[in-house]
Amino acid sequence: MRPPGRGKERTAVTDTGDKRQRLTEFIVAGQADFYRLAYSYVKDRDTALDVVQESIVKALSKSDTLREPAYVKTWFYRILINECMNWHRYRRRVLPMEELPESPGGSERDHEARLDLYDAIERLEEKERTIIRLRFFEDMKLEEIARITGTNLNTVKSRLYKSLKRLKEWTGEEETP
């Protein structure tokens, strides 16, 4: 921690060092969160470790693209989520369709059994699922989610409301006696 007011005296070099220091601290402190989030995408222990590892290497080796140290959190999560989605896309490509979770829509509306909320979240589209996870499991602000996903705040909001509505339908909340 630097005393405030000394900021202006910093040279470019200590700035970079500072930035890296900050990034490293952030990563060390948040590793369990990163792992859980990665796991929720890839559903496999080794793959999740792999994704976390790749994200960290990438973040550090490209730390000069982090302009504003205050945004370290959203900047890093953006890298992490990109890595997660890349895996997801890869699965989609290499695994036969049967092994993938059914896509939402149509058929299960007829199902008698209501879905558990967690399972319902799994059925959302990828972008919606990301917003739900970040908002409700990682406690992020909508502004942060917008920065992480590279979308504007209104889009995040409308996707969030749409997903909540769908979740409600699938879990059958209104029907509870």
Partner 1 sequence: MKEKEAWEKARERYESAEIPEELSGVVSAALREGTRQQASRRAVRRGWGAALAACACFCLLVNVNPAFASAVAEVPVLGGLARIFTAERYQRRDRDHLIDVRLPALADTGNTDLEQRINLEIKKRIDDVLDEAEERARETREAYVETGGTEEEFIPIIIDVDYEVKCSDGRYLSFLIWKTETLASAYTELYAYNLDLTVGKELTLRDILGPDFQSRADAVIRSEMDRREREEGAVYFRADRDGDSFQGIGADQKFYLNDRGEPVVLFEKYEIAPGSMGIQEFTIPLSQ
Write out the residues near partner 1 by the rule CB under 8 A.
20, 24, 27-28, 31-32, 35-36, 39-40, 45-47, 49-54, 56-64, 82-83, 85-87, 89-90, 92-93, 97, 103, 116-118, 121, 127, 133, 136-137, 171, 173, 176
CB of 5 to partner 1, least distance (A): 29
Give least dist CB 71 to partner 1, A: 18
Q: Is the CB of 19 or the CB of 157 nearer to partner 1? A: 19
Length reported for the chain: 177
CB of 3 to partner 1, least distance (A): 26
Closest CB 44 distance from partner 1, rounded Å: 11
Nearer to partner 1, 7 or 31 (CB): 31
Residue closer to partner 1 by CB (options 45, 141) is 45
By beta-carbon proximity to partner 1, the closer residue of 16 and 71 is 16
- Amino acid letter, residue 88: H
